Amino acid sequence: ALFMALLSMASVPSVLAADTPKPATAIFAGGCFWCTESDFEKLPGIIGAASGYTAGRVANPSYEMVSSGGTGHTEAVRVTYDPGKVSYSQLVEHFWRTIDPTAKDQQFCDHGTQYRSGIYWSNDSERKIAEASREALLKSGKVKQVHTEIIAATTFYPAEEYHQDYYKKNPLRYAYYRRSCGRDARVQEVWGGK
């Protein structure tokens, strides 16, 4: 009887754990990863975001390699989120409103394929959500074209430690960069009010 009681008590946490959604991840590229990381980390339901590189041809790229434009990578963020509080669809909608989807191979003051925008899906459901969102955006007439790539996720390489949470570690430099790059002004121009 004691064994059965212990067995039934041991199964309670696993039942509770099954009801709690596990954290999930999603990868987005929106130009400068400092800004994209900052934009996502302010969204409710986000556990954290890491700056890094994705969609390239070279293993373990460095910032110098990626910023030269020769590796095929783009600056990106891997967002860790609580799917019980925010859905993948909501992440995609939030993402659109933080970038200029009409810009090809650039975002704001940063130019080159390493600053292209993208949504990098990890399963068919995410692909369908991202593609449907792009189609809805085009049908809305808000933009006439979308240059944001929507492709299967490949290896995400975290950027060097000094890039992580840059906006928190260097708030004055970050604020100056963001303002001088014209990011918020262009987002306002494309999307209007919040």
Radius of gyration of the chain (CA): 19
Residue 181 annotated as catalytic: no
- Which one from 32, 35, 109, 181 is the annotated catalytic residue? 32
Distance CA 96, CA 99 (A): 6
Q: Distance between CA atoms of 17 and 120, rounded to whole angstroms?
A: 28
Q: Which residues of 134-163 are buried (b: 16+ CB within 10 A; e: fewer)?
A: beebeeeeebeebebebeebeebbebeeeb
Q: What is the 3-state secondary structure (H, E, C) of 135-183?
A: HHHHHHCCCCCCCCEEEECCCCEECCHHHCCHHHHCHHHHHHHHHHHCH
Tokens read off for 4? 């059965």
Reference 89, options 44, 133, 40, 39; nearest CA is 133
Which residue shows structure tokens 């969204």?
43
Distance CA 97, CA 46 (A): 17
Q: Which residues are designated catalytic?
A: 32
